Structure 1
Amino acid sequence: MSTSGTTPAPAQAYPLSNRVALEGLGSFFIVFAGLATALFSPAGSAATIGFAYGLALVACLISFGHVTNGFFNPAFSLAMAVAGRIKWLAAVLYIVAQTIGGLLATAVLVALMKVMPAGATPETPKLFAALANGFDSHSPSQVPMVGVLIVEIVLMAVLVAVVLGASSARNKSTMGPIGIGLAFAVAVTITMPLSNGSLNPARATSVIFLADSWALGQVWLFWLAPLFGAALAAAIYRSFAPARSLVTVDGPAEDIVATGTQDIDSDADTDDDDDNAALPKPVPAVPEPVTSDPAPKKNDAQDFFDSKDK
């Protein structure tokens, strides 16, 4: 237990391998929830699918967010690195794990469809082509490439602003995961009729190898636009954020925010080894005691002339 005027020792960081594995698991669950809802839900409307993604994200944030700080989406992980919350190496490994998790989610869905009665589902290429993200003639609303590009950039920038604000250590609200999940659900609902919903490069990649060839040719947009929007929003955030708020600690800080994530993460880039320790709390200066009637300094010459025996 800490005493007055001292700082508690920070907890040890979770191993990077554990965090990478949890990012892959979270991505698997989010992608599986969204695609399975689109495939099997009788009321697979845009809102239903969007909220499936959002609720799955809420569950992952509450369960694993305090460990990984990567938010189970390549665009969010890039934003956290640009904002100084995690190291670039961790961000790259997170993105790889998230992409693999999305591909595994699709593999499980394919295996599930293989054991269903014949004729219960369409042929695999036709089915996953309907789930793939696309623009122009492959957009559900025939939206051109420029339109999809703008929507993906703008919505991802807004989502990153929500994530960075909700996960800030200055934010004492306990509703962070719900706020992030709801924002993501609304954003996916908006993009569903435009591009089959994405805002997640791992989800966009998860179906391209099972869909028609056009999906592979258009997936670049669903990586470029979210990553650009995320990096732009994070760079703007970092330019306005107090510099000291980006200093890191060696592991999950005592100041864990209510979202289940931490504003100051062990993975963030630092230029000085001294930044790898928790910032000490400011200690107020103690003023020296001042007496109301200070004693005059002794003056030997004055005492000689004032002496009565002179």
Structure 2
Amino acid sequence: MRTSGTTPATVQAYPLSTRVALEALASFFIVFAGLATALFSPTGSAATIGFAYGLALLVCLIAFGHVTNGYFNPAFSLAMAVAGRIKWLSMVLYVVAQTIGALLASVVLLALLKVMPAGATPETPKLFGALANGFDSHSPSQVPMVGVLIVEIVLMAVLVAVLLGATSSRNKSTMGPIAVGLAFAVAIVITMPLSNGSLNPARATSVVFLADSWAMGQLWLFWLAPLFGAALAAAIYRSFAPASAPAPVQEPVDGLVSSDTPEPATAPAEDDDESALPKPVPAVPAAKESPAASEAAAKKNDAQDFFDSKGK
């Protein structure tokens, strides 16, 4: 990264407090967009809700991805830490911020429902219970626990693979946020009829305090499965990286930043270093004339003198 010609510039990392705050803000927006669409959309179809989640994630990646690379989901943050992209302390703070942001989204929705006309919405536990993630009898399709566990692990592993590939320093494409957003939308559409769509532990936590008690009892799966799938995919991805080469500092990819390590500045050359000074160019010796060339030049001069003297 350079500014004003060839002067090198150092990429300064944003303060940790700024990154944590933006993780909370983005998590709030993503969860609010998905839950509000599920509550107020006339159709409430899986495709509509999945599109809302994916589009909200895409917007946040473009707007805030250059600041923080926790990517607004506890499973994504864990994957980035396992892959060596962020520090473990940052990951823990990101997860806390993301969960708080998701909880605030459900609180705002609750406040909105409280001011709606009486009878316009069901009772709060029943309403948020319909939004909570569940398995067995609480799954929209009565999917058993093992089935939901497998789906959450596999889809989160695929999402993490897409995320790590899109933010790789070797990937020069500018379509990274679009790829991640679309992949997340498709994954939500798949999981909606199975478990009400999660793939985000913060989103799963956001409604359990307002739903019936069963939601809290089943919350563990929607933390364990995404985190396990994310860590597994990140570990496999990292195992393919060259072991001898240091991890490169990666450039932003259309709003995505794959490392929170600032780019080192290029050290300028010392003025008194002889290696930095221009070397004198040795003189090239003149080529010797051959006898034939000298004789031809003499004849030419004699002919010129003859015509010059005749003209006088």
TM-score bracket for this pair, using the shorter chain length: 0.7 to 0.9
Q: Note closer, same or farther for the CA distance 1:158–1:245 as it changes in structure 2 (3 Å cut).
A: farther
How far does residue 168 in structure 1 lie from its aligned partner after superposition?
1.0
Q: Specify the structure having the higher radius of gyration (Cα).
A: 2
How far does residue 245 in structure 1 lie from its aligned partner after superposition?
6.0
Aligned residues: 271
TM-score by length of 2: 0.81
Residues 79 and 160 of structure 2 are in contact (CA less than 8 Å); yes or no, is this contact kept in structure 1? yes
Residues 139 and 195 of structure 1 are in contact (CA less than 8 Å); yes or no, is this contact kept in structure 2? yes
Residue 265 of structure 1 aligns with an amino acid whose one-letter code is D
Q: Note closer, same or farther for the CA distance 1:80–1:7 as it changes in structure 2 (3 Å cut).
A: farther
Match of 1:266 among 243, 261, 265: 261
Q: In structure 1, how many angstroms separate the alpha carbons of the residues matched to 2:223 and 2:21? A: 22
Residue 260 of structure 2 aligns with an amino acid whose one-letter code is D
Q: In structure 2, how many angstroms separate the alpha carbons of the residues matched to 1:49 and 1:2? A: 43
Question: SS state of the match for residue 199, structure 2?
Answer: coil
Residues 134 and 196 of structure 1 are in contact (CA less than 8 Å); yes or no, is this contact kept in structure 2? yes
Partner residue, 2:69: 69
Residue 261 of structure 2 aligns with an amino acid whose one-letter code is S
Partner residue, 2:264: 277
How far does residue 2 in structure 1 lie from its aligned partner after superposition?
7.4
Partner residue, 1:257: 253
Residue 93 of structure 2 aligns with an amino acid whose one-letter code is L
How far does residue 210 in structure 1 lie from its aligned partner after superposition?
0.3
How far does residue 170 in structure 1 lie from its aligned partner after superposition?
1.2
- Give the fraction of aligned pairs with identical amino acids, expressed as a percent: 80
* Residue segments in structure 1 that go unaligned for 5+ positions in a row: 268-275, 281-310
Q: In structure 1, how many angstroms separate the alpha carbons of the residues matched to 2:78 and 2:194? A: 24
Map 1:4-23 onto structure 2 (within 5 A): 8-23=8-23
Question: SS state of the match for residue 67, structure 2?
Answer: helix
Residue 181 of structure 2 aligns with an amino acid whose one-letter code is G
Q: Deviations over 1:258-307 (max 9, x none)?
A: 3x12233228xxxxxxxx83699xxxxxxxxxxxxxxxxxxxxxxxxxxx
Q: Note closer, same or farther for the CA distance 1:8–1:242 as it changes in structure 2 (3 Å cut).
A: farther
Residue 141 of structure 1 aligns with an amino acid whose one-letter code is S
Q: Deviations over 1:32-86 (max 9, x none)?
A: 0000000000011001001100000000000001100111000000000000100
Residues 245 and 264 of structure 1 are in contact (CA less than 8 Å); yes or no, is this contact kept in structure 2? no
Q: In structure 1, how many angstroms separate the alpha carbons of the residues matched to 2:90 and 2:197? A: 27
Partner residue, 1:163: 163
Q: Note closer, same or farther for the CA distance 1:278–1:162 as it changes in structure 2 (3 Å cut).
A: farther
Residue 133 of structure 1 aligns with an amino acid whose one-letter code is N
How far does residue 172 in structure 1 lie from its aligned partner after superposition?
1.1
Is 2:24 the counterpart of 1:28?
Answer: no
Partner residue, 1:246: 247
Question: SS state of the match for residue 67, structure 1?
Answer: coil
Partner residue, 1:234: 234
Q: In structure 2, how many angstroms separate the alpha carbons of the residues matched to 1:101 and 1:48? A: 22
Q: In structure 2, how many angstroms separate the alpha carbons of the residues matched to 1:133 and 1:82? A: 26
Tell me how large the CA RMSD over aligned residues is: 2.5
Question: SS state of the match for residue 154, structure 1?
Answer: helix
Q: In structure 1, how many angstroms separate the alpha carbons of the residues matched to 2:74 and 2:189? A: 19
Residues 160 and 230 of structure 1 are in contact (CA less than 8 Å); yes or no, is this contact kept in structure 2? yes
* Residue segments in structure 2 that go unaligned for 5+ positions in a row: 268-312
How far does residue 9 in structure 1 lie from its aligned partner after superposition?
3.5
Q: In structure 1, how many angstroms separate the alpha carbons of the residues matched to 2:161 and 2:202? A: 20
Residues 62 and 177 of structure 1 are in contact (CA less than 8 Å); yes or no, is this contact kept in structure 2? yes
Is 2:37 the counterpart of 1:37?
Answer: yes
Residue 122 of structure 1 aligns with an amino acid whose one-letter code is P
Residue 159 of structure 2 aligns with an amino acid whose one-letter code is L
Residues 85 and 264 of structure 1 are in contact (CA less than 8 Å); yes or no, is this contact kept in structure 2? yes
Map 1:1-310 onto structure 2 (within 5 A): 8-243=8-243, 244=245, 246-248=247-249, 255-258=251-254, 260-266=255-261, 277=264
Question: SS state of the match for residue 85, structure 1?
Answer: coil
TM-score by length of 1: 0.82
Q: Note closer, same or farther for the CA distance 1:245–1:179 as it changes in structure 2 (3 Å cut).
A: farther
